[in-house]
Structure 1
Amino acid sequence: MSQPLLTVTDLACQYGEYRAVNGVSFTLEEGRIACLLGPSGCGKTTTLRAVAGLEPIQAGRIHIGGEEVARPGYQLAPERRRLGMVFQEHALFPHLTVAENVAFALRRETAEQRRERVAQCLRRVRLEGLDQRYPHELSGGQQQRVALARSLAPRPRLLLLDEPFASLDLDLRRALAEELGDILRQEQVAALMVTHDQEEAFLLADQVGVMQAGTLAQWDSPHRIYHAPSSRFVAEFAGYGTFLRGTVTNEGTVSTVLGELRDGPLPWPAGTEVDVLLRPDDLLPDPQGVLLTVEKSLFTGPTVLHRLRLPDGGTLLCQTSGREPPAGPGEMMPVTMAPTALVAFPLEDN
């Protein structure tokens, strides 16, 4: 089995008495894309900066390509780690043209090699014909493409991205995130990105790490992060979802006001109270289902997101097709549960 490109082991970073990162471990394979996802202040940017060599570490080890680049008391200089960096602020040189910005890290190449590599990188990011423009003559999205091309130009073994699309509008962010994945795979470059946007992470990454208060709550595929979260925190942070109270029965099912759920042997004894995770697409309109009151309906075009009120006052989300007119507040909607898997958390774990 090949050695991972990046290995982070029991990483800890501290500012005075405050431990921003504590015991974080994960690996990233060659050519793979990973995202660190989490709320502000969870330690994801500090972890990225430690990998880049911009933050000293107080515990643990970091290896890149099998080489130890950081341990307590030792830190390989960032420029010797063969990394590329893309920041939220673009950080382009305003007095240099697009081509000169991209060529900045190619000073060891011949003039002909620089021209060929600059042209190749600009084609990758679809900026052909803009090589002689200056940054102030470009849109925000074009500036971020230049920053990406400049980072890819010296052929780094690992690209680090810190909230690269945060300053862009929503539609442009989604488009660039999708394109970035294609570009990185064409260049065969592994990447580690920081974001607080779960949709961005799911769209781009092969692996997602959800961070909570300086720790890594779960490192997994986007599909498992969404459908098999390891904790209530991951379930709530990574995607829309609501919880339905249930009780484990003697028959090994979970009984709820919407019916019973079964998904193989349950790890809890009969009588255990649990919260069952239901994503919006886990509830389906069903004429034979349980009638719930519509509190609010949000029409997005392709879909309608309904907030439904339970008899105990709680609410659930139900997503339906946008082909039908949205239900109005106070209307009754019959629904049934159809989760792909039973995901529940005992109340004592909350």
Structure 2
Amino acid sequence: SRGDLMCAGDAPAEVADQFEAHVVWMHEDEMLPGRPYLLKVGTRTMGVTIAHPKYRVDVNSLEHLAANTLELNEIGVCNLSLDRPIPFDAYADNRDTGSFVIIDKRTQNTVGAGMLHFALRRSHNIHWQDVRVDKAARADQNNHQPGVVWFTGLSGSGKSTIANIVESKLHTLGVRTYLLDGDNVRHGLNRDLGFTDADRVENIRRIAEVSGLMVDAGLVVLVSFISPFRAERRLARERVEAGEFIEVHVDTPLDIAEERDPKGLYAKARAGELTNFTGIDSPYEAPESPDVHVDTMALTAEEAADHVIAALRSKGLLD
């Protein structure tokens, strides 16, 4: 079928899902390591994430330069991780099965292109280990369905306050929970990350993985992060099964959030002491169709929490 590859029996193509490759970035928006893109090799299209560049190539001197991302027309060497194995050849051996283009999942625009070098050794040596106790067994023991309740909104919108109240109410109902809060996680797991767009993407990628593991453990995990980009929130949703992800938009106008400014961050951002701050000099992409919309101008934190609990019941996450 479309995308399949026929090979000589004595010279089969290699099959892998992780590669080193040269990447040429072709879009004015920088490459964001960890963001899910699409990769097309021949007629086959699959999901891909790109790691931080090993180095960027100076096109004039061919010098290898340190880089955290790639800008328009820059070339770098990166590791690629696909969502499924593909047959391939190194570009040096076969241009047709060794070249690719990178596509933005949302706009379908081509944003990059590249050449495959070789499969990473871990692509062949790491295999999925089956376990005897699975998610269904853990959920049955907990007497409730697992899932992710993802709170997104501007700094100062009230996400953490509402998430705390929701967790308290769920705890009273006997639901096994865990709350992942943006500030708390940056003290440990994500303490190495800053606030550039690339670091924000990696911040949410890690939390999406952690929350997915917690769902597999049978828990209801509450996630309270600004999570400013739709693409990464979509990644978090895709990490779990259908019906297990509830996106809650804690909607507060920027001027009200700035007026509250409980941590003094907006004041620092306005004074130029804090860069890449969401809502000031870094964008916030509000959910287009959240599962739950919380208008903090109309609801108190307690009422908002009750609204979320009611939504969890209506969506089948709670009995």
- Could you state the TM-score of these two structures normalised by the residue count of structure 2? 0.24
Greater relative contact order: 1 or 2 (C-alpha under 8 angstroms, separation 6 or more)? 2
* Larger Rg belongs to: 1
- Could you state the TM-score of these two structures normalised by the residue count of structure 1? 0.23
